[in-house]
Structure 1
């Protein structure tokens, strides 16, 4: 009994030791960044007002925008705001418009000084970013830069934007070949080549901050299930675009007074391939669709030069005077016949916003702006930018070459990052497969130990029962009397007489209380282990 109890104690201690010594499950790391209004200091310590993610570079802060246009991060460089770069007339949408230095700083989200960075191979950056030069952009410089992402730092080769008006602010590379994601994963700062974006909202009525999670997504932003799409390796109408969808329906629900009218822009007969691009703020429409939106406006759009004395518009949409037209409408998209996205009126139309002479963000109450670029999309490729993504959470996983979109909460939330392929989040025990394997091995060894102990005890008891206890004499054997031819005769006086055999001493001992198998048997129990569903399991 005592030996069995000791054996059981040893097994329990052994199993406990296996659990304690087994590696505990640690979720893969993620990097969560805030996205919203940026107030940073330019190189000359002047204020810069922008919208995006604040990143530190060599002691300077700049405001960058998430971008799937590029595989390398592109940073605006100080020469982008040289005197010869302040005239924006080279862009059709900005004819007759010039910036001053302060407006340029804010439009670009600040800039870096290439003289403080180690130069790098320009050709390597060109090879990684074939889509950069399609619409006239040039890559003239590259550098090795250490990027400060909140508490984390990573060094990467970046392109430098030194000229041109095609881009507004710096690009944070999030395309399928992103060197930034690779560097972060190689450094152990993220566990997967993935990211999740809450674009927030730049609405004048209901602005909202967002977030970017590298290596996972923000489950706190989700308001519905994910819809699944495949990352594309092919360009869209000449535009580099990994996140392509098919718009199978687009209708405008316009309200005038108490009357609501519906207008179909896209249907099954004219399905529209489109690029989901978080770098762009507005919708970009092909020429034919752009004309339909202008017709619905029932007003006359104005050129940027009409209000340039008050403000500089970063990316001019369709601008019109409030007293001449109104576009109180909701846009309803159907994506791939399946997912429906409604963009409310306050995201479609807003008061005109831009930069005043000091580079500060201001609103002109005399004008409204429809959040659709006023000029046709480059290459006639439709683009769904931040105005569209204001309603959706975007999660991109390059490990599986897939991306996913879900309805997101209408209010700002504190990010709750969840790593891609986080096995810990799907188990309530917090044990890894390795830990479970060690416990299984320990259980087998424990069972074997019990079996060996029981066998040893059984053999010991059997041997003990076969051997008389000390002090008990064996009964002497009775001699066998041999019959002789003379056994029937009467002994004579001269015969030797043998005494009768000595009677054996006997002793009775009750062994019924010596059983080592007595006692109460233990009851084994098993607790069912539930499974906590990861937000990834909601992907349908």
Structure 2
């Protein structure tokens, strides 16, 4: 317990001391302003009118090239595709489709400000990327196989947000299978983007927030990614804050592990019914760039089709699963599909209602000429059944049409609200605890969010305007002073335990925490914490008990789902399977 507490305190100090001086120099009045990046439909190719993809528009190079990027919660580096974009020709029929789906190619040879390095590391990028189960299998190979270089990156038209000599990776392998589609903007725990903005004093903490917006309906709404804070107007009601936990035992490579305790269908007449059997829940990993609403056990889909009396179309791909932009979604005819809403309730207390037009959508695809079209003769249920191979369930981008997410790497936390789908905006800066003390003299604007302590896995606030309430913050911060006292003694204990432990490519700390399960069938066990290279420690949290029944079985014999018995889900394919389903 002592070592866990020490790691929380140490993370705050180490991750903030590096840029406190720079922040003081560039923002002496402690005037931190969050950066809002639009998340919207962008016309990728000027020559093709309807060549839209949803993402963040940025400019890279000299002269500036227009690209569309996707926020990636687990990647530390930013990776851009060039003219070797690794699209599978068996599914993506020509180069124009590939160019659109990648968000336009980055032509590094056409940029006078691009400087090639030996690799991503020597370019100044992060030296570690995740290799956790469930993430795309190619991620660990990106660092050793990608080209490395630096170039100018403009996040907006504001000259203060132009990053010179920003480290970039250019993939030289097919690592993401194409269905996550676009260039990857790394916002992970050691994000080069957040690190640079923090070091320059442009933002007060390595925090980012996201609302996906609304798509595919008659009144689409742009989303946003906010760096250094969050958008208060996009939030409703209580907030729920948990620790980021990257330990292998959570099975969540983004650190954002939650438990879905109920899913209900809400019919047009207002009546609702659960898709879960009694005493059932599903631990899930929030993965904002994933292309669907949810990946969950087959039994949930079976119950959905039973209650809604719907049957998937078999002629659209892999046994009714989409092979288009919503890879793996279940396809129904537009003559027979569920037209109600869906609610998702988490064990934290958060419950969101996802409107029908955000999870039962017309089938989008990119035509041969590069235009994004909708086939309205089909409806895609943005649900993918999990194969019985131990991969964790996930909540993807369409969960963030109904929920608002904030990730604070300095505090080691993530926070969820119900989302308010509005065009209005009120940005709130989030300031790191160390910066608030050293740079702002204890009087920081916006929100100062301390690191959580052991035993504060979930904190909720009551603020009706979506603020992190003082009660929630006080609950998180109550024992910070006590931790500081214990820290000195714990420091020597942890240092002793850390000696002699090899950590190839990363500074790591291994902590075993043995808890006992309770009468509700919960389990707990050892946890492993690791840190990106360059950090001396990463918070090693107590093992959080999770429901005993994790994943349902997949009834492959009856043709439910896609693939064959024992096949992994798409992002766990081996190299011999790329041509079969890779996009």
Q: Distance in 1 between matches of 2:152 and 2:410?
A: 25
Q: Distance in 2 between matches of 1:24 and 1:74?
A: 33
Q: Distance in 1 between matches of 2:74 and 2:411?
A: 19
Correspondence for 1:331 = 342
> 8 Å contact 1:67–1:173 — kept in the other structure?
yes
Alignment of 1:143-222 (within 5 A): 143-150=149-156, 151=158, 152-154=161-163, 155-164=165-174, 165-166=177-178, 167-222=180-235
Correspondence for 1:271 = 281
For residues 56-87 of structure 1, give each alpha carbon's deviation from its aligned partner in whole angstroms, at most 9, with x where no partner exists.
11121111111112111122222015xxx342
Specify whether residues 146 and 314 from structure 1 end up closer, same or farther in structure 2 by C-alpha distance, changes over 3 A only: farther
Bigger shift: residues 184-193 or 131-140: 131-140
Q: Distance in 1 between matches of 2:364 and 2:50?
A: 18
Correspondence for 2:57 = 54
Q: Distance in 1 between matches of 2:344 and 2:388?
A: 18
Q: Distance in 2 between matches of 1:56 and 1:108?
A: 15
Correspondence for 2:468 = 536
1:45, distance to aligned residue in structure 2 (A): 9.5
Specify whether residues 184 and 434 from structure 1 end up closer, same or farther in structure 2 by C-alpha distance, changes over 3 A only: closer
1:41, distance to aligned residue in structure 2 (A): 4.0
> 8 Å contact 2:126–2:190 — kept in the other structure?
no
Mapped pair 1:102 → 2:104 = no
Q: Distance in 2 between matches of 1:110 and 1:248?
A: 40
Q: Distance in 2 between matches of 1:405 and 1:120?
A: 39
Q: Distance in 1 between matches of 2:281 and 2:388?
A: 17
1:389, distance to aligned residue in structure 2 (A): 0.9
1:273, distance to aligned residue in structure 2 (A): 1.1
> 8 Å contact 1:348–1:387 — kept in the other structure?
yes
Correspondence for 1:136 = 137
Q: Distance in 2 between matches of 1:408 and 1:100?
A: 38
Q: Point out where structure 1 has 5 or more consecutive residues left out of the alignment.
A: 1-22, 89-96, 427-431, 436-532
> 8 Å contact 2:240–2:348 — kept in the other structure?
no
> 8 Å contact 2:312–2:330 — kept in the other structure?
no
For residues 473-522 of structure 1, give each alpha carbon's deviation from its aligned partner in whole angstroms, at most 9, with x where no partner exists.
xxxxxxxxxxxxxxxxxxxxxxxxxxxxxxxxxxxxxxxxxxxxxxxxxx
Q: Distance in 2 between matches of 1:534 and 1:259?
A: 27
Mapped pair 1:420 → 2:444 = no
* Secondary structure class of the residue paired with 1:223: strand
TM-score, with length taken from structure 1: 0.65
Specify whether residues 52 and 538 from structure 1 end up closer, same or farther in structure 2 by C-alpha distance, changes over 3 A only: farther
Q: Distance in 2 between matches of 1:181 and 1:307?
A: 42
1:113, distance to aligned residue in structure 2 (A): 2.4
For residues 440-471 of structure 1, give each alpha carbon's deviation from its aligned partner in whole angstroms, at most 9, with x where no partner exists.
xxxxxxxxxxxxxxxxxxxxxxxxxxxxxxxx
Q: Which has the larger radius of gyration?
A: 1
For residues 307-362 of structure 1, give each alpha carbon's deviation from its aligned partner in whole angstroms, at most 9, with x where no partner exists.
99x99535341112212x21123222221241111112222211112212221221
* Secondary structure class of the residue paired with 1:357: coil
Specify whether residues 110 and 239 from structure 1 end up closer, same or farther in structure 2 by C-alpha distance, changes over 3 A only: farther
Mapped pair 1:79 → 2:91 = no
Q: Distance in 2 between matches of 1:63 and 1:379?
A: 33
> 8 Å contact 2:245–2:255 — kept in the other structure?
yes
Specify whether residues 80 and 248 from structure 1 end up closer, same or farther in structure 2 by C-alpha distance, changes over 3 A only: same
Specify whether residues 149 and 86 from structure 1 end up closer, same or farther in structure 2 by C-alpha distance, changes over 3 A only: same
* Secondary structure class of the residue paired with 1:27: coil
Say which structure, 1 or 2, has more relative contact order (CA 8 Å, 6+ apart).
2
Q: Distance in 2 between matches of 1:234 and 1:420?
A: 25
